Each structure stands twice: as C-alpha cells, then as structure tokens.
Structure 1
C-alpha cells in the first residue's frame, strides 16, 4: 500500500511499505457539496462574541476588469475555474495575488474573498480566486495538484493579464492559508505537482500570505484532528485519522518543508492560537536562512476575521505594505 512518508530532510518518498493497518476511508467523498461554511454562517457564528463586526461587501470599481468562471484546468469532465480581477489600463506587468478560500478543506468557495481581491486590485495587484477540489470530491493531495495547476496557469497567461512572473504571491485563509504555505514550500516538488494541466511550467511562488492557516497538523499547538465528537476536517481530507497515519499528517504539513527556498512570508492571525500551530517554528527556520517574514495578530479577532470589519482594511494595508517591501527593486 503506497504511503507518504516524511524523511529527516523534510522531503517525501513513495514507498510500498505498509505503515498502518487501517484502510483509507472514503466515506467523506460523497460528491455532495458541503455548504456549511459561508461568509454569512461565519458572521452569525462570530457575532456572538463580537457584536461590533460587519461583513465586508463586494463593490464595483470602474477601474477593475473582472472576468469570472475561467477554466484553468480540466480533469476528466471536471472543469476547475478561477476569477480574475485586473486593474484596467495596465501598461506594466504587476504583482499577481492568488487567493485560496478556507472551509476546512471541505466547504467554502472562491467567492468568499471577492472583496479582498477587489480591494487589492484597486491598489494595482492582479488578483485571482481559484476553486479546488474539496474533500467531498477528492482526498489530499488533489487540492494541492489543482492549485499548483492554477499557479502554472497564471504564469502561462501572464502576458494576457499583465502579470510579472517573478512576483507571484500565493495567499489563503484558514484551510486556504495552510494550502498557501504548503504550495509555497513545495514549489516544483514532483510528488506534489500533478499532471495534465499547464505542465512544464515552474510552480514556485515568490511570497506567501498565510491568514490563520495551520503550519503543522502534528504540532503540539494544533487543534486539528480531534475525532472524539465527530470526524474532523483533517480526517475527512486525508482519509485517515491522525492516530491511524501520523506520517501522512506530518507529510502534509508546511512545516515539514520550510527551508532555504521558502519565499518571504506574511502571517496574519486571529486571537485563536491553535489556528496558527507551528508558526513560531516555521519563522525560526526562515530566520535561520535569512528569509524575511512578518507577523500581525489582531487581538480579540475571531478566526474568520479576513471577511469582517473592523479588521479588513488593516489587513489589506498589511498585505500591501509587506508586498511592497518584499518586491522593492525586483
């Protein structure tokens, strides 16, 4: 039985050694879209402890060209789509910002961060919001394959959308933040590239923005993997509980790959500590390798802070400031 194992060098190997005696569970792959996490449901949940919050609405800007439902990859009959938010009258190539939605690798959708894409496009960034296969449709690493294909698609279509391919940013919230960190630390790693969509293009990125996404599924700080009351999001995504296959959970952790090739990273965090498990260890590796990072924590903010006022505008400003600093003179 093929398993994914972590080595001391923080790389993965395929092996035929059976390290667990449990069969991978496919019970969560039911083909039924999970709509439990939406902006509105997050708002209702967060309102209890934060009565001052409000959802950030989408807005129209005549200076932004919006194109929706662009197919970036086709897998069998399944078409994966993304949306593009491009500043009009762009004469020079710009920083590309690819934003991955959250929802526990099982729920959520790419419309979740339209306001953020619009706000950043208004500041001159070319923004993309890709969908990816969730755990109701396919298990890990399918989502990674999809999003690597999205990165390659952006690079392939750079001329059309006025993208500077040396300034690609991968960003995400919650599960999307974990995915962004994973993509950023495994650029061009053959095991996680997938095949059939925009092949032959380098999938590495030049900056990571992680909004409350875990850096490790096995770190002592993590809260992911508790199946005592119900099946956890991670167990659904991997098809194994953490106890059944700790090696796979470790191998799926961005912390397992951070190193000399990891790009500068911005961490934007809520007051929920478990949502950024492994962050300090991740930053230590960055520091040891002279790689720039920033951390901004919003005190008393709920986990879903990126979609709420009063944190939205400061968040946008932190992203803008970080990227301008990282890409100065590049």
Structure 2
C-alpha cells in the first residue's frame, strides 16, 4: 500500500482507503494513484491509503481473501496511528464492490464512516449484471463456498445489498449512463435498499461508460460531491 500523511494529524483525522478495480482478478493500486492525488488536494488534512489486495484466480477465491486484506490494512493503520480513525472506503468497479461488502457485511467494529461506490456491482443476481462477460468466474471463483451459510446462494452472499441494515454506513454512488459492464440498474437497486433501511445516501450518474468516471469533468464533479457528502454525513 501507498501511504500519504498530511504534515499534521491527530486522533480526529479521517483516513481514506482507496481500493482499485479489475474484475477481482486483475488491476493494481497504481491505476488510482492520480485520482488519489486529486483527492488529496481537496482533503489536504486527511490520511490516504492506496492498497493492493490478493487477486482472485481459478485456484484462489476472492472472498474472504480480499475482505481479509482490507481488514488487515485497517488493523495495521490503527496500530500504526495509535488511535482508531474513521475510515472512508472508496473503490471503483470490483474495488467498489469490496468497499461495500466490507462495510455492510464485515465491518464488525463499526470502523467505516462512509463508502464511496464508483461503478460498483451491488446485486450480483440482477438480470442486468448477468450479462457481465466474466459472470461464470463470479459464480464459481469469487466466493469460497466454505464461508457461505446454508440457505443463501453464492451470488446472494456476494451481493452488498444482501447485508444492508439500518446501521449501515452512509454511501455515495456514481454510475455511468452508458456503462456496458455495470448497468445503471445496479444503482437503482442499491438506492432502493438504502432507502428502505433509512441510510443516508446519494447517487449520481455521469455521461459515459465504465471507465469514463475519472475523465476530468466527471472526476472533478465526483470529488466536489464527495466533499459535500462527507460534510453532510458528519451532521447525521
């Protein structure tokens, strides 16, 4: 992981944890280095962590390895900083999925202040998502079936919306109107479940496809909305 510290910080300093995409089995933190630096300009007093995680393959499941890696990073930071910060999980695509499922399912210590979900899959059973080109990998290799309790399917377990409760973290979402990988239906499903549970959330759409969220205009809009969202979340 890459660590970025402001000149001064204290026990109230928030930590952004940045989690890259890549279909759970590819990608690298370097893909989000430029966006992380852009965020740092907007949030100069925050700590930033841009992390890698173990990639999934036909011989290595993504979950729980990847959620365990997030947990390990959070624990390491708490130990290093010598205080328990509030974490903002921000990811794109598969990284957004991991951010959400960690915050909603694995956040037992209530460490997460908010989730920033950029083009992330939220309901893996949605008919719109089943057109994903690597869907068979998601079904067979994303989740270790040993961690799935009886009575729940693999895709249900792997869907962030399955784990939203009335105490889930505030969530900001950003989706492309012409995304051929993660359809806008994923945004609508997530918004509906967050609404039902009275979770503070906002969602926005941008013109373009799956990779267009970080084009200059779109990313500038997103960073502004993140700033406004977090200020509102602080008041909740």
Tell me the TM-score range normalised by the shorter chain: 0.7 to 0.9
Query: SS in structure 2 opposite 1:157?
Result: helix
TM-aligned CA distance change 1:225 to 1:115, over 3 Å: closer
TM-aligned CA distance change 1:265 to 1:183, over 3 Å: same
Answer whether contact 2:174 2:205 (CA < 8 A) is retained. Answer: yes
Q: TM-score, normalised by structure 2?
A: 0.83
Structure 1 residue 237 displacement after superposition: 2.8
Deviations along 1:66-90, one digit per CA (max 9) or x if unpaired, are xxxxxxxxxxxxxxxx111122233
Answer whether contact 2:32 2:50 (CA < 8 A) is retained. Answer: yes
Partner Cα separation in structure 2 for residue 288 and residue 259 of structure 1:
9
Q: TM-score, normalised by structure 1?
A: 0.61
Query: SS in structure 1 opposite 2:50?
Result: strand
Equivalent pairs counted in the alignment come to 225
Deviations along 1:114-155, one digit per CA (max 9) or x if unpaired, are 122212222222111111111137203211111122222233
1:129 to 41, 50, 55: 50
- Larger fraction in strand: 1
- Larger fraction in helix: 2
Answer whether contact 2:123 2:189 (CA < 8 A) is retained. Answer: no
Partner Cα separation in structure 1 for residue 107 and residue 114 of structure 2:
15
Unaligned regions of 5+ residues in structure 1, if any?
1-81, 190-201, 241-245
- 2:200 aligned residue: 292
Deviations along 1:158-197, one digit per CA (max 9) or x if unpaired, are 34xxx762x31111100001111101101345xxxxxxxx
Partner Cα separation in structure 2 for residue 131 and residue 304 of structure 1:
19
Matched, 1:138 2:74: no
Unaligned regions of 5+ residues in structure 2, if any?
146-151
Q: Which has the larger radius of gyration?
A: 1
Runs of 4+ aligned structure 1 residues displaced above 6 Å come to none
